[in-house]
């Protein structure tokens, strides 16, 4: 799912500096799964902002609400009657949320509470790692289920670079060299020759390189 | 055991300190508490196995948040003791009451108009 991290408190307080009454809108989707923008975290942020402003002697009124998702117009419509009542609305959803809200309610200001980072999953409780770069042309079947676009720091497609050492990437000992993993897995499964096969160049037009993407299901479009 | 501890300590009983969440600690501070502490079982002796370890992590998180907001992180603390250690309970209560006194009133208390 989409992974995000909450913005530093200083940045959030700066955003609502001029506001006296705000709404914090959470999302029960990805940000709930990575424990950054769900009902609980909305409550925590509301309390933190109230504490900070009380300390300053300029109390702030904070309303809390969490909706199913902020990436579907039907859910965005649910807050139609409430968004106008505030000086600003902080959205704890991924980058999509504040944008959908801004489009639907152009007269209100929507601030992002989180920095959205990547597509990924939980590697252990409380730790989420990037797994997918959204390149639009998935190639992981060529690499035995491992993705060099997302997990190689240089997105190399033909093998490890000279910086691969003891299975780690040269940028940090905390980053595994995915090519080390791919080659070892291919060797283990007896498929090392796969890596010598000629493949056409990757078409990067389906990635962010080709501009903002749109997916259409003709069978569903009304 | 009829030991006495300072009267300005409000005790809230929970079945396990694992039940105490970040929001509870923050709400206490928000509502003007000068200090809040969590007293859990000795590490390794939690009846629910890791409840006290979760509480410890949450207390650390709240300390970090308070630091970021310019509030003394010493206002929040985690203690471990056995249910049989009555005198230690009173000692901890006294320690935190002293600490709250030394740190002064919470900066979050509503300021009355001068």
- Residue B103: partners with Cβ closer than 8 Å, 6 or more residues away: B34, B35, B72, B74, B75
Question: Could you read off the pLDDT of A28-38 as tens digits, one per residue?
Answer: 999 999 999 99
| Average pLDDT value for chain A | 96
Collapsed DSSP state (helix, strand, coil) of residue A76: helix
Q: Flag whether the ipTM exceeds 0.95.
A: no
Of the three residues A92, A118, A144, the one that is the final residue of a domain is A118
Count of alpha carbons within 13 Å of A159, Cβ hemisphere only?
9
At residue B66's C-alpha, the angle toward residues A58 and B24, to 5°, is 90
Of the three residues A51, A85, A118, the one that is the final residue of a domain is A118
- CA dist list (Å): A115 to A6, A37, A96, B101: 6, 11, 11, 39
Cβ of A44 within 8 Å of Cβ of B23? The answer is yes
| Average pLDDT value for chain B | 95
Domain of A173, in residue numbers: 133-206
Summarize the confidence of residues A6-33 as an average pLDDT.
97
In a domain, A123, yes or no: no
Query: What tokens were used for A82?
Result: 């409430």
Collapsed DSSP state (helix, strand, coil) of residue B50: coil
Question: Could you read off the pLDDT of A89-139 as tens digits, one per residue?
Answer: 999 999 999 999 999 999 999 999 999 999 999 999 999 999 999 999 999
- Are residues A43 and A97 located together in one domain of the fold? yes
In a domain, A187, yes or no: yes
- Are residues A200 and A112 located together in one domain of the fold? no
Closest chain B C-alpha to A73 CA, distance in angstroms? 31
Task: Give the model's confidence band at A167: pLDDT under 50 very low, under 70 low, under 90 confident, else very high.
Answer: very high
Continuous segment of H or E residues that includes residue B24: helix B22-30
Question: Could you read off the pLDDT of B27-49 as tens digits, one per residue?
Answer: 999 999 999 999 999 999 999 99
- Residue B7: partners with Cβ closer than 8 Å, 6 or more residues away: none
Longest CA–CA span in chain B (Å) reads 51
Q: What is the pLDDT of residue A157?
A: 95
- Are residues A155 and A107 located together in one domain of the fold? no
At residue A142's C-alpha, the angle toward residues A141 and A147, to 5°, is 75
Q: What is the pLDDT of residue B1?
A: 87
Q: What is the pLDDT of residue B112?
A: 58
Query: What tokens were used for B34?
Result: 């000068």
Q: What is the pLDDT of residue A65?
A: 98
Compute φ and ψ for B108, nearest 5 degrees: -90, -10
Question: Could you read off the pLDDT of A72-95 as tens digits, one per residue?
Answer: 999 999 999 999 999 999 999 999
Number of domains in chain A: 2
Please name the member of A48, A50, A54 whose beta carbon is closest to the beta carbon of B65: A48
Please name the member of B21, B23, B108 whose beta carbon is closest to the beta carbon of A55: B108
Task: Give the model's confidence band at B78: pLDDT under 50 very low, under 70 low, under 90 confident, else very high.
Answer: very high
The verdict on B50 touching A (C-beta cutoff 8 Å) is: no
Please name the member of B22, B69, B71 whose beta carbon is closest to the beta carbon of A44: B22
Residue of A nearest to B61 (CA): A44
Query: What tokens were used for B84?
Result: 């049989």
- Are residues A85 and A178 located together in one domain of the fold? no
Count CB-CB contacts under 10 A for residue A55.
Answer: 18
In a domain, A178, yes or no: yes
- Are residues A148 and A103 located together in one domain of the fold? no
- Are residues A146 and A201 located together in one domain of the fold? yes
- Per-residue pLDDT for B114 more than 60? no
- Per-residue pLDDT for B6 more than 70? yes
Compute φ and ψ for B14, nearest 5 degrees: -130, 155
- Are residues A84 and A19 located together in one domain of the fold? yes
- Are residues A22 and A79 located together in one domain of the fold? yes
Cβ neighbours of A35 in B, within 8 Å? none
In a domain, A127, yes or no: no
Cβ of B69 within 8 Å of Cβ of A54? The answer is no
CATH number at residue A75: 3.40.50.11860
Summarize the confidence of residues A186-191 as an average pLDDT.
96
Please name the member of A43, A51, A57 whose beta carbon is closest to the beta carbon of B29: A51
Compute φ and ψ for A138, nearest 5 degrees: -65, 130
Q: Give the whole-angstrom CA distance, residue B21 versus residue A143.
A: 43
- Are residues A114 and A138 located together in one domain of the fold? no
- Site of tokens 């989180």: A114
Query: What tokens were used for B113?
Result: 């108009």
Collapsed DSSP state (helix, strand, coil) of residue A192: helix
- CA dist list (Å): A213 to A135, A137, A170, A206, A210: 10, 12, 32, 8, 8
The residue extents of the domains of chain B are 17-103
User: What's the DSSP call for residue A194?
Assistant: G
In a domain, A19, yes or no: yes
Summarize the confidence of residues A156-164 as an average pLDDT.
95
Summarize the confidence of residues A147-151 as an average pLDDT.
97
Of the three residues A118, A147, A174, the one that is the final residue of a domain is A118
- Are residues A29 and A83 located together in one domain of the fold? yes
Please say whether the dihedral angle defined by the alpha carbons of residues A176, A177, A178 and A181, taken in this order, is positive or negative: negative
A-facing residues of B in 12-31 (CB < 8 A) are 21-23, 26-27, 29-30
């Amino acid at each position: 799912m989409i992974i995000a991290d909450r913005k530093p408190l200083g940045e959030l307080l700066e955003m609502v500096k001029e506001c006296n009454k705000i709404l914090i809108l959470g999302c029960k989707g990805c940000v709930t799964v990575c424990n950054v923008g769900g009902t609980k975290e909305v409550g925590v942020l509301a309390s933190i902002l109230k504490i900070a402003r009380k300390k300053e002697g300029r109390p702030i009124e904070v309303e809390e609400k969490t909706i199913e998702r902020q990436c579907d117009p039907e859910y965005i419509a649910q807050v139609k009657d409430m968004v106008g009542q505030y000086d600003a609305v902080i959205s704890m959803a991924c980058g999509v949320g504040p944008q959908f809200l801004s489009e639907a309610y152009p007269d209100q200001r929507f601030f992002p509470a989180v920095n959205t980072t990547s597509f990924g999953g939980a590697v252990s409780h409380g730790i989420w790692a990037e797994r997918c770069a959204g390149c639009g042309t998935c190639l992981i079947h060529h690499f035995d289920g491992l993705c060099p676009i997302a997990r190689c720091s240089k997105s190399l497609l033909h093998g490890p670079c000279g910086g691969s050492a003891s299975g780690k990437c040269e940028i940090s000992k905390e980053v595994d060299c995915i090519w080390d993993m791919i080659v070892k897995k291919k060797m283990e499964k007896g498929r090392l020759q796969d890596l010598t096969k000629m493949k056409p160049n990757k078409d990067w037009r389906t990635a962010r390189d080709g501009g903002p993407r749109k997916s259409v299901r003709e069978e569903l479009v009304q | 055991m009829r030991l006495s501890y300072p009267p300005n300590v409000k005790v809230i009983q929970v079945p396990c300190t694992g039940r105490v969440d970040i929001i509870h600690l923050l709400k206490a501070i928000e509502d003007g508490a000068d200090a809040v502490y969590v007293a859990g079982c000795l590490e390794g002796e939690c009846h629910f196995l890791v409840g006290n370890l979760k509480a410890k992590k949450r207390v650390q998180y709240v300390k970090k948040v308070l630091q970021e907001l310019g509030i003394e992180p010493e206002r929040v603390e985690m203690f471990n003791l056995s249910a049989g250690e009555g005198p230690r309970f009173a000692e901890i209560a006294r320690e935190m009451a002293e600490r709250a006194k030394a740190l002064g009133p919470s900066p979050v208390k509503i300021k009355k108009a001068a």
